[in-house]
C-alpha cells in the first residue's frame, strides 16, 4: 500500500490565524481526500481533490474556509483559515488505490485552536 | 445518497470468545464495503473489503466479515478475541465507481473492548 505522510503532526494555533497541512504520497494517485475527525468520533469528508481540477467540497464545507491545493499527483495541501476553537480536530489526508478499491489514510494532523 | 450505520457504540467481549461488530448500509447499486480499525493515537488502518465474489471475506489480524445483501449488512467477526483487538472500528461504504456515490462514507464507529 502507499505510504502517506502529513505535516505537521500536531499544532496549537491562535484563534483567527490559518494553518496549512501538507500531505505527501510516495506514489502517484489521481484522487485525494481530506477528512476531519474529532477524537474517538467518525470521519467527515471535507473535500475531494483531483490533480488539475478544483476541489469538490462536501455540504457544510467551503473553499474560503478550507482552500485546497493539488499541484501534482503526489502532493496536496489543506488550509484551515481564520480558525476558531470549533476547528480543533484531527485532519486526515487519504488516497484511493483505484486497482484494489482500497482507501488509505495518513497519520493525521491534530489541530488545537485556542 | 449512501449511508452506513453501526448500531452499537461499544461492544464488550471476554478474551477467547467470538466477537461481532455490526454494520448495515444503504447505497444505490452494488456496494463496496470496508472495515477499518483505529488504535489509540494511531492512524486508520484498512482491515478488509467486499467488492464482489464470496460473501465471506477475510482480512487482517484474523478478522472476517460477511456480506448479506438481503439484510444489507456487513458484520465484522472474529472467532477468538484478543485483548490487543481493543480499538475503534469503522464500517464504510462506497457506491459504484463513477457514480455520484463513489466516495467512502464512514459509520459512527464501534469501540471494541476485550477483557482478559
As a whole number of angstroms, the distance between CA A58 and CA A60 comes to 6
Q: Rounded to a whole number, what is the largest CA-CA distance in chain B?
A: 46
Q: Which residue has the higher pLDDT, B95 or A51?
A: A51
Q: Are A23 and A78 in contact (CB under 8 A)?
A: yes
Cβ-defined contact of B103 to A41 (cutoff 8 Å): no
Tell me the three cell numbers of residue A105: 489514510
| A chain contacts of residue B36, beta-carbon cutoff 8 Å | 105
Residue B46 touches partner A, C-beta closer than 8 Å: yes
At residue B17 the predicted structure's pLDDT band, cuts being 50, 70 and 90, is very high
Q: Are A107 and A23 in contact (CB under 8 A)?
A: no
Residue B88 touches partner A, C-beta closer than 8 Å: yes
Residue with cell 471476554: B14
Query: B3-115 — its CATH code?
Result: 2.60.40.10
Residue A61 touches partner B, C-beta closer than 8 Å: no
What is the four-CA torsion angle of B98, B100, B102, B104, rounded to 10 degrees? 170
Residue B109 touches partner A, C-beta closer than 8 Å: yes
pLDDT at B99 over 60: no
pLDDT at B31 over 90: no
Pick the closest to residue A34 from A24, A46, A20 (CA basis). Answer: A46
At residue B40 the predicted structure's pLDDT band, cuts being 50, 70 and 90, is confident
pLDDT tens for A14-55 read 999 999 999 999 999 888 999 999 888 899 999 999 888 889
At residue A5 the predicted structure's pLDDT band, cuts being 50, 70 and 90, is very high
At residue B67 the predicted structure's pLDDT band, cuts being 50, 70 and 90, is very high
Tell me the three cell numbers of residue A7: 505535516
Looking at residues B81-104, what average pLDDT do you find?
Answer: 81
Pick the closest to residue B84 from B113, B56, B55 (CA basis). Answer: B113
The pLDDT score that the predictor gives to residue B98 is: 57
The percentage of chain B sitting over the pLDDT mark of 90, rounded to a whole number, equals: 74
As a whole number of angstroms, the distance between CA B92 and CA A44 comes to 12
At residue B101 the predicted structure's pLDDT band, cuts being 50, 70 and 90, is very low
Domains in chain A, start-ordered, CATH in brackets?
A: 4-105 (2.60.40.10)
Residue A42 touches partner B, C-beta closer than 8 Å: yes
* Helix, strand, coil tally for chain B in percent (to 5): 5, 50, 45
Residue A92 touches partner B, C-beta closer than 8 Å: yes
What is the 3-class SS of B35-61, one letter each residue? EEEECCCCCEEEEEEECCCCCEEECHH
Q: Rounded to a whole number, what is the largest CA-CA distance in chain A?
A: 42
Rg (CA), chain B: 14
Cβ-defined contact of A42 to B103 (cutoff 8 Å): no
The pLDDT score that the predictor gives to residue A97 is: 78
Residue B108 touches partner A, C-beta closer than 8 Å: yes
The pLDDT score that the predictor gives to residue B97 is: 58
Q: Which residue has the higher pLDDT, B41 or B15?
A: B15
Nearest-CB residue to A101 (from B51, B105, B107): B51
Cβ-defined contact of B111 to A40 (cutoff 8 Å): yes
CA of B41 vs chain A CAs: smallest distance (Å): 9
pLDDT at B100 over 60: no
Looking at residues A61-67, what average pLDDT do you find?
Answer: 96
Cβ-defined contact of B88 to A40 (cutoff 8 Å): yes
Looking at residues B12-27, what average pLDDT do you find?
Answer: 96
Amino acid at each position: 500500500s502507499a505510504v502517506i505522510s502529513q505535516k505537521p503532526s500536531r499544532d496549537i494555533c491562535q484563534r483567527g490565524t490559518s494553518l496549512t497541512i501538507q500531505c505527501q504520497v510516495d506514489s502517484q494517485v489521481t484522487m485525494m481526500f481530506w477528512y476531519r475527525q474529532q477524537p474517538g468520533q467518525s470521519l467527515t469528508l471535507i473535500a475531494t481533490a483531483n490533480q488539475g481540477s478544483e476541489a469538490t467540497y462536501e455540504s457544510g464545507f467551503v473553499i474560503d474556509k478550507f482552500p485546497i491545493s493539488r499541484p501534482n499527483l503526489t502532493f496536496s495541501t489543506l488550509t484551515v483559515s481564520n480558525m476558531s476553537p470549533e476547528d480543533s480536530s484531527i485532519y486526515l489526508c487519504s488516497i484511493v488505490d483505484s486497482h484494489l478499491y482500497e482507501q488509505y489514510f495518513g497519520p493525521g494532523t491534530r489541530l488545537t485552536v485556542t | 445518497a449512501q449511508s452506513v450505520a453501526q448500531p452499537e457504540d461499544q461492544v464488550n467481549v471476554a478474551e477467547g470468545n467470538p466477537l461481532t461488530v455490526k454494520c448495515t448500509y444503504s447505497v444505490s447499486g452494488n456496494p463496496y464495503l470496508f472495515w477499518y480499525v483505529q488504535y489509540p493515537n494511531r492512524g486508520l488502518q484498512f482491515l478488509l473489503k467486499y467488492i464482489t465474489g464470496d460473501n465471506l471475506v477475510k482480512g487482517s489480524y484474523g478478522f472476517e466479515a460477511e456480506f448479506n445483501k438481503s439484510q444489507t449488512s456487513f458484520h465484522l467477526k472474529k472467532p477468538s478475541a484478543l485483548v490487543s483487538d481493543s480499538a475503534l472500528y469503522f464500517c464504510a461504504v462506497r457506491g459504484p465507481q463513477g457514480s455520484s456515490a463513489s466516495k467512502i462514507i464512514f459509520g459512527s464507529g464501534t469501540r471494541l473492548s476485550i477483557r482478559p
